[in-house]
């Protein structure tokens, strides 16, 4: 039955398939009236010399021609011309398809039956129209006509086009809507040879043969035969194709295989090729790399590099269906333009090749059909695609999906792949053997089950027939939001899970009411039954009354029988196993358990269950198949985009964080930002699954990654981005000037009494006057305060008076001021690597210096007769020995000497067996400072520092000790002998007496010695007594006289005028080099005012502790404690506070300690004036608990 024609914008009816003759004349008049008919007769291009206006009018008329024809066609035929804009193509495809041939035959006096026309339309349709053909065959006779068939074909063609578009199939421009290229070529060729009249614009399968009586029909001008015209002459077409082939080979016959090809899923059959070639690396299996291999091309001078060889499984899309072929020993040639199948290789494999009618048929040796290749553009093309299971890019690692789905069991994932339960698992290769997941083995370890062959059967028939509820908790640590519990609600029929984290049990009732209201509105159903245990959170009166009023049945378990609530209890167990596994795999702290739980539930609801018959809980609950394409590995490194309104132009466009789940009420991911210490939800997130977030931000590297701290500092997370943007647009305020980092220098002149005063900022620039300082501050945007600078000298020039008495007067110009300033700013530390063993000294670049130092030590031992050689006996306990090396520096950090010491391995002796007492005389540094203040600054005593060549100074050996000979210095001929030690007292023989309260303090009349191993400080009332004491020590010991104390035990003693200052600039400079990778910040206080310290973390509660152990927290605390105890009491409180976290520190503690170090760097020139003491009374302080 004909449908009523649509209303037409013209005075005639639209084209409906039966009125083409009249419609054509009417449309011709309309196009002529609109100036568009010239495009139908002959589509001439716009002249190149045309103006812009003429080109615009040309394009406008051409588009108007197309829209006019488009408006004159009924809607049911529009899919046939929807994707064409060319007018001639539109007329050719559509107008000649519908009824022209039928009308012409009818006008010639022949009547074609309606049934025959309809059968011809469906006779040669491709395989994708088989179901439509079966439907058309079932139509009644009065309904089976060509109009109904055309309408059905048009509708089906449109549907196939949309389907092919969804599948992203690659079609060339010459592919028709109905039928394939291969079928089209076959139909055209057979029709041409049978003398049929073909319509080139019709679909294959819609061709109709019109047989003319013998001797009748049009005459061909090319071959002079009747029955067709020159445009349909196959002899003329063959000649044109041969000429085209000859012209093509004249310029592309040699390098046709090179360049870029769009036929990525095609192979060409080349009978001249000796091997198969392919340029797609991902298609290969059993791939082997080849070196220095080249393939010769047709041109003698052309070659192609072969980088490997392997096999390819390929699916050929043949006219009889898909055919699998395996190409053996295929060369991998990335520079080839085409993929080639060798005809010679097919012949060797026993295949036969038959050419006929533009088709190459490949058959087996028994003439059984295999597959076909069709000619296109003078090539025989094999179309298809590589086999999915054997191709690298289509095979997704099963272990990666296992991690993305929060460590769901592997059998569940395989069942989901098999049943196609979700979207996103189509390309997973389930045939590969998954590796054992270490995190699952650690987090899901269980006892062996004693219950066998128990199967739970589902009794509910619809969602909300019954839900299972249970409360888990309390958790050992609070979550990020402070929650201790979680409530799980599981639908019995769909197995959909909802979890809610709670801070207390009292929230259960309110959470359940919200859940009930939401799900009943969402599904339009009522909840029938609830099963819980006997927890008080479910058994109180308000909860029971609420359920009873709504008619909801309450089911409770028997007392102390948790198995009756098995579904909820089993979920608690599996969820906690998953949470432990995810935290173990990601390295996050236990306080992220709630985030891991929500991520697990999100993926669990999208995974099939063994009782849901291949469907997922989300599909049963909502009726829609879910997708897991968005799922990513928990704990991966994530980059969160920062909106433009929240940053300025110089700030980074993303923040670095850790993926911890999926957004709840919006699309996106949940990302933990460590610096801001918060979780953000955003859809603009880039996730790198190849990197673990914790290991990347805190992580395990060979050297300490200090750049992490600097990176977090650059994020500027402590302030609002918008405020920063406004601040950046306003004029920048000058920074405060820290005068403590500047150096003031008074330099006397030699030819006059004038003293020059200079200031040196950290940039080493010399400023001579207050104007120079002002200019420097303006240039560096620093606050200028003239009261902070004093260019008046504080002392008189005594140097001029001394120099004037001398005949050899030196000029001030001879003093190299640049070198003097360079000494002040000398931060470079001698970084020669100190060897740890004797073997390392032999390969050290300073081998000669170390050998000299060891020879001096051995000579010293021999002169003092520290040992003699004896033959070892069986009952002797022989100790080992080793060399200890060090490099001595002076107060300016210059290398003073290379030092070697021979030590016995006394730790092998046992207390009470080998010895009964321990003697280690060391003086406390506080005593050194006390004696400097009392003796030097108040009483004015002289002092001198000496270095002893050897440390055997104290005590006698009452028990014989035997030691092996020193490595590298064994006596020749007596290598098996051992050393018997006999050390005598030395200091006692010089008349010094040891103090009973301090073992390192020795006294004599008018002379005091402070001994620290081999460093000795001598105090004396007069210079003559000092020199006599040093001379006596020098007679018995080999010493080096160093003069007044300048650098002792890491502390500088500096005398300026009559004052003595104590500081540690040399040691702090060493720390600058040692921790040079740490960020530098301008810190004005050791601890910020109102600083809140994070809690100490127990080592057994957090995996991050293992990562934080890689950071030298304890080492830096030790260095700062050394500075605080010796010369910087201003940092003592901060250091002592942070030292409390040495066994449980976090990354935040580390940042505070680094700030303390920066404060020390910024104030390294602070000094303690030991001479500023006027009260000689001794004052003591004691803690109240000791009073």
Cα of 731 vs its chain's centroid, Å: 38
pLDDT at 523 over 60: yes
Range name among 185-194, 539-548, 857-866 with the lowest pLDDT average: 185-194
Highest mean pLDDT among 2-16, 453-467, 583-597, 825-839: 583-597
- In terms of C-beta distances under 8 Å and separation of at least 24 residues, what long-range contacts does 481-486 make, across chains too? 481/594, 483/594, 486/594, 486/597
The rounded distance, in Å, linking the Cα atoms of 198 and 228 is 9
- Phi and psi, residue 289, nearest 5°: -80, 145
Give phi and psi for 155, each to the nearest 5. Answer: -65, -45
- CA 934/CA 912 separation, integer angstroms: 42
| pLDDT confidence band for 839 (50 / 70 / 90) | confident
Give yes or no for residue 131 having a pLDDT over 60: yes
**Is the Cβ–Cβ distance between 679 and 658 less than 8 Å?**
no
Check residue 1086 and give its pLDDT.
85
pLDDT of the residue at 518 = 92
Tracing tokens 């006996």 back to the chain, one arrives at 873
Higher pLDDT residue, 129 or 484? 484
**Per residue, what are the HEC states of 965-986?**
CCCCCCCCCCCCCEEEECCCCC
User: Topology of 461-627 in CATH?
Assistant: Nucleotidyltransferase; domain 5 (3.30.420)
Sign of the C-alpha dihedral computed for residues 740, 743, 744 and 746 taken in this order: positive
User: Does position 912 have pLDDT exceeding 50, yes or no?
Assistant: no
Asked if 208 and 122 touch (Cβ cutoff 8 Å), the reply is: no
Taking 60 as the threshold, does the pLDDT of residue 60 lie above it? yes
Comparing C-alpha atoms, which of 144, 140, 171 is closest to residue 263? 171
Q: Looking at residue 162, what is its pLDDT?
A: 62
Most confident by average pLDDT, 117-126, 237-246, 1042-1051? 1042-1051
Half-sphere exposure of 482 (CA within 13 A, CB side): 2
The answer, yes or no, to whether residue 88 has pLDDT greater than 50, is no
Which residues are paired to 1056 by β-bridges? 1059
- Going by pLDDT thresholds of 50, 70 and 90, the confidence category of residue 654 is very high
**Would you state the pLDDT for residue 753?**
66
Give the C-alpha separation, 760 to 741, whole Å.
Answer: 9
Contact 104, 179 (CB under 8 A): no
For 737-791, CATH number? 3.30.890.10
Residue 601: count of CB within 10 angstroms of its CB: 22
Q: Distances from the Cα of 888 to the Cαs of 815, 836, 853, 939, in angstroms?
A: 28, 16, 12, 31
Average pLDDT over every residue of 1047-1070: 83
CATH code given to domain 266-386: 2.40.70
Q: Residue 1111 has which token pair?
A: 């950071």
Query: Which pLDDT band, with edges at 50, 70 and 90, does 98 fall under?
Result: very low
DSSP 989: G
H-helix segments, 491-565:
508-523, 536-539, 541-549
pLDDT of residue 231: 66
Provide the H-helix boundaries in 1084-1146.
Answer: 1104-1108, 1113-1126, 1132-1138
pLDDT at 250: 31
Q: Which of 185, 178, 174 shows the shortest CA–CA distance to 160? A: 178
Tell me what pLDDT residue 511 has.
Answer: 92
Beta strand 553-556 with 529-532: parallel, antiparallel or unpaired?
parallel
State pTM to two decimals: 0.34
Pairing of strands 978-981, 961-963: antiparallel
- Per the prediction, the chain carries an average pLDDT of 74
Measure the CA–CA gap between 981 and 876, rounded to whole angstroms: 13
1061-1072 pLDDT tens trace:
888 888 888 888
Could you give the CA distance from residue 161 to residue 321 in angstroms, rounded to a whole number?
20
Comparing 145-149, 427-431, 441-445, the range with the smallest average pLDDT is: 427-431
Per residue in 702-725, pLDDT (tens digit) is: 322 322 333 233 323 333 333 333
Tokens of 868: 């003699």
Q: How confident is the model at residue 217 (pLDDT cuts 50, 70, 90)?
A: low
Q: How many residues does the chain have?
A: 1187
Report d(CA 1027, CA 773) in Å as an integer: 48
DSSP 767-818: B-SHHHHHHHHHHTTB---GGG---S-SS--HHHHHHHT-SSPPPGGGS-HH
Confidence of residue 238 (pLDDT cuts 50, 70, 90): low
Q: Measure the CA–CA gap between 593 and 660, rounded to whole angstroms.
A: 10
Query: Hunting for tokens 């910087």 — which residue is that?
Result: 1128
pLDDT at 498 exceeding the cut of 90: yes
pLDDT band, residue 609 (cuts 50/70/90)? confident
For residue 640, the SS3 value is strand
| Residue 638 three-state SS | strand
Lowest mean pLDDT among 423-432, 607-616, 776-785: 423-432
Q: Which of 282, 666, 628 is nearest to 423 (CA)?
A: 628
SS3 assignment, position 763: coil
Whole-angstrom distance, CA of residue 1013 vs CA of residue 524? 88
């Amino acid at each position: 039955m004909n449908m009523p024609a649509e209303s037409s914008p013209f005075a005639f009816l639209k084209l409906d398939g039966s009125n083409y003759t009249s419609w054509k004349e009417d449309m011709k008049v309309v196009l002529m009236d609109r100036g568009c008919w010239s495009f139908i007769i002959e589509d001439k291009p716009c002249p190149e010399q045309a103006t812009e206006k003429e080109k615009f009018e040309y394009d406008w008329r051409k588009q108007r021609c197309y829209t006019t024809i488009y408006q004159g066609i009924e809607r049911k035929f529009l899919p046939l011309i929807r994707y064409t804009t060319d007018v001639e193509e539109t007329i050719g495809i559509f107008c000649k398809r519908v009824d022209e041939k039928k009308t012409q035959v009818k006008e010639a006096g022949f009547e074609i039956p309606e049934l025959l026309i309809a059968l011809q339309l469906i006779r040669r349709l491709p395989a994708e129209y088989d179901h439509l053909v079966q439907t058309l065959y079932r139509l009644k006779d009065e309904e089976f006509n060509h109009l109904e068939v055309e309408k059905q074909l048009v509708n089906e063609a449109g549907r196939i086009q949309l389907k092919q578009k969804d599948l992203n199939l690659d079609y060339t421009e010459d592919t028709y809507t109905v039928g394939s290229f291969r079928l089209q070529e076959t139909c055209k060729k057979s029709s041409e040879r049978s003398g049929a009249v073909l319509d080139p614009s019709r679909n294959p399968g819609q061709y109709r043969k019109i047989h003319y009586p013998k001797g009748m029909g049009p005459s061909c001008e090319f071959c002079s035969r009747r029955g067709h015209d020159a445009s349909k002459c196959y002899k003329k077409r063959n000649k044109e194709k041969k000429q085209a082939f000859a012209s093509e080979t004249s310029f592309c016959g040699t390098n046709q295989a090179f360049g870029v090809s769009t036929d990525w899923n095609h192979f060409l059959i080349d009978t001249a090729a000796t091997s198969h070639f392919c340029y797609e690396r991902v298609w290969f299996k059993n791939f082997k790399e080849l070196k220095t291999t080249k393939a010769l091309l047709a041109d003698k001078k052309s070659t192609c590099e072969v980088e490997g060889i392997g096999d390819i499984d390929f699916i050929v899309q043949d006219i009889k269906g898909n055919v699998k072929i395996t190409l053996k020993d295929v060369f991998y040639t990335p520079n080839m333009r085409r993929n080639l199948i060798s005809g010679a290789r097919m012949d060797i494999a026993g295949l036969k090749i038959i050419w006929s009618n533009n088709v190459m048929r490949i058959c087996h040796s028994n003439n059984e059909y295999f597959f076909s290749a069709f000619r296109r553009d003078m090539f025989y093309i094999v179309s298809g695609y590589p086999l999915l299971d054997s191709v690298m890019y289509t095979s997704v690692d099963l272990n990666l999906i296992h991690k993305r789905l929060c460590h769901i069991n592997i059998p569940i994932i395989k069942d989901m792949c098999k049943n196609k339960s979700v979207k996103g698992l189509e390309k997973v290769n389930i045939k590969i053997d998954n590796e054992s997941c270490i995190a699952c083995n650690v987090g899901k370890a269980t006892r062996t089950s004693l219950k066998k062959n128990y199967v739970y059967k589902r009794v509910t028939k619809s969602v909300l027939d019954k839900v299972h509820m249970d409360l888990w908790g309390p958790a050992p640590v609070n979550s990020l939001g402070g929650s201790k519990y979680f409530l799980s609600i599981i639908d019995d029929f769909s197995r959909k899970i909802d979890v809610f984290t709670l801070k207390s049990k009292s929230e259960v009732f309110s959470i359940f009411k919200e859940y009930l209201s939401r799900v009943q509105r969402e599904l339009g159903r009522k909840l029938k039954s609830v099963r819980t245990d006997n927890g008080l959170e479910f058994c109180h009166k308000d909860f029971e009354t609420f359920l009873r009023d709504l008619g909801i049945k309450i089911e409770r378990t028997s007392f102390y029988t948790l198995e009756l609530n098995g579904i909820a209890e089993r979920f608690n167990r599996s969820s906690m196993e998953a949470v432990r596994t995810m935290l173990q795999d990601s390295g996050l702290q236990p306080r992220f358990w709630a985030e891991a739980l929500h991520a697990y539930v999100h993926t669990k609801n999208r995974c099939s269950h063994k009782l849901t018959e291949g469907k997922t809980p989300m599909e049963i609950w909502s009726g829609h198949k879910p997708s897991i394409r968005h799922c990513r590995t928990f704990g991966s490194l994530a980059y969160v985009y920062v909106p433009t309104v929240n940053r300025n132009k110089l700030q980074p466009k993303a923040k670095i964080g850790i993926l911890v789940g999926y957004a709840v009420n919006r699309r996106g991911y949940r990302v933990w930002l460590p610096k801001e210490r918060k979780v953000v939800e955003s859809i603009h997130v880039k996730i790198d699954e190849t990197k673990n977030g914790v290991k990347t931000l805190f992580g395990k590297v060979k050297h300490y990654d200090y750049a992490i701290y600097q990176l977090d500092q650059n994020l500027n997370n402590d302030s609002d981005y918008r405020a920063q943007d406004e601040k950046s647009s306003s004029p920048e305020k000058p920074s405060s000037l820290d005068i403590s980092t500047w150096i003031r220098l008074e330099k006397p002149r030699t030819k006059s009494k004038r003293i020059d005063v200079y200031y040196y900022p950290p940039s080493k620039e010399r400023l001579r006057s207050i104007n120079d300082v002002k200019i420097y501050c303006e240039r560096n945007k620093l606050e200028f305060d003239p009261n902070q600078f004093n260019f008046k000298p504080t002392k008189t020039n005594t140097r001029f008076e001394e120099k004037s008495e001398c005949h050899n007067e030196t000029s001030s110009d001879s003093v190299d001021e640049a070198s003097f300033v360079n000494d002040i700013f000398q931060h470079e530390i001698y970084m020669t690597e100190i060897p740890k063993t004797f073997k390392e000294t032999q390969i050290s670049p300073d081998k000669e210096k170390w050998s000299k130092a060891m020879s001096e030590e051995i000579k010293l031992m021999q002169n003092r007769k520290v040992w003699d050689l004896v033959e070892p006996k069986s009952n002797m306990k022989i100790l080992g020995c080793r060399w200890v090396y060090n490099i001595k520096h002076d107060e300016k950090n210059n290398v003073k000497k290379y030092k070697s010491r021979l030590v016995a391995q006394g730790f092998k002796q046992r207390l009470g067996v080998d010895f009964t007492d321990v003697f280690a005389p060391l003086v406390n540094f506080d005593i050194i400072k006390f004696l400097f203040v009392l003796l030097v600054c108040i009483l004015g005593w002289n002092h001198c520092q000496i270095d002893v060549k050897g440390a055997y100074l104290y005590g006698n050996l009452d028990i014989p000790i035997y030691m092996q000979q020193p490595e590298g210095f064994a006596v020749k001929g007596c290598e098996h002998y051992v050393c018997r030690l006999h050390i005598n007292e030395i200091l006692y023989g010089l008349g010094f007496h040891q103090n009973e309260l301090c073992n390192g303090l020795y006294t004599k009349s008018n002379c005091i010695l402070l001994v620290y191993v081999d460093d000795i400080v001598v105090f004396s009332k007069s210079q003559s007594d000092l020199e006599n004491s040093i001379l006596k020590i020098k007679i018995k010991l080999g010493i080096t006289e160093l003069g007044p104390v300048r650098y002792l035990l890491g502390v500088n003693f500096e005398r300026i005028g009559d004052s003595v200052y104590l500081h540690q600039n040399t040691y702090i400079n060493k720390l600058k080099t040692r921790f040079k990778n740490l960020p530098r910040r301008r810190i004005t206080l050791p601890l910020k005012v109102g600083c809140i310290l994070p809690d100490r973390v127990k080592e057994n509660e957090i995996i991050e502790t293992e990562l934080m152990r890689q950071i030298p927290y304890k080492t830096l605390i030790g260095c700062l404690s050394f500075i605080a105890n010796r010369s910087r009491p201003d940092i003592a409180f901060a250091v002592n506070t942070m030292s409390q976290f040495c066994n449980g520190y976090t990354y935040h503690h580390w940042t505070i300690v680094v700030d303390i170090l920066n404060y020390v760097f910024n104030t390294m020139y602070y000094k303690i004036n030991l001479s500023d003491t006027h009260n000689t009374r001794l004052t003591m302080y004691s803690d109240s608990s000791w009073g």
